[in-house]
């Protein structure tokens, strides 16, 4: 018994290191399994096998914020198609955001086409409170 205790005292750092590595391995396996499950779920949802996100209640959407890359914001036809699609599904209040203010400069084009939607344009690093 005394020899066993003396062995543990002399090699306690080795035992702690071994326990640490075992704990790390267990957590790593759990994380890998978790990520594989998320990937499988995403695959099933993307292919329409799982219908989790099929029912979208647009009436509950009060505001929708969209971040647009400044390069894509220069192509107003793409932004107009996006706004038309949002209008078709029933979204009425949209915040459009781009970093360089491209959308803000061409907001008249959007406002004349979508006069029934509430459109807000933000540029730079502005914070809504």
Give the Å distances, CA to CA, from 38 to 24, 35, 41, 43, 49. Answer: 21, 5, 5, 9, 15
Non-local CB neighbours of 106 within 8 Å, separated by 6+ positions: 73, 76
What is the structure's pLDDT at 128?
39
Please, are residues 87 and 61 in contact by the beta-carbon 8 Å criterion? no
Please, are residues 50 and 44 in contact by the beta-carbon 8 Å criterion? yes
What is the structure's pLDDT at 97?
83
Distance CA 43, CA 45 (A): 6
Sheet order of strands, 93-98 included: 64-67, 93-98, 118-123
What is the structure's pLDDT at 126?
41
State in Å, rounded, how far the first CA of the chain is from the last one: 67
What is the structure's pLDDT at 1?
52
Distance CA 73, CA 109 (A): 12
Which segments in the chain show pLDDT lower than 70?
1-10, 52-56, 114-129
The label of the residue with tokens 């036809």 reads 77
Query: Residue 95's beta-bridge partner residues?
Result: 65, 120
What is the structure's pLDDT at 127?
35
Q: What is the pTM of this model?
A: 0.48
């Amino acid at each position: 018994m005394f020899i066993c205790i003396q062995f543990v005292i002399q090699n306690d750092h080795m035992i702690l290191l071994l326990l640490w590595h075992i704990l790390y391995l267990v957590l790593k396996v759990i994380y890998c399994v978790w990520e594989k499950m998320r990937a499988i779920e995403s695959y099933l949802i993307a292919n329409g096998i799982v219908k989790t996100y099929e029912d979208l209640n647009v009436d509950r959407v009060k505001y929708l914020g969209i971040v647009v890359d400044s390069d894509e914001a220069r192509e107003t036809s793409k932004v107009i198609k996006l706004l038309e699609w949002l209008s078709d599904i029933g979204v009425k209040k949209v915040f459009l955001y781009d970093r360089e203010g491209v959308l803000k400069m061409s907001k008249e084009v959007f406002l004349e086409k979508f006069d029934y939607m509430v459109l807000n344009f933000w540029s730079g690093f502005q914070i809504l409170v």
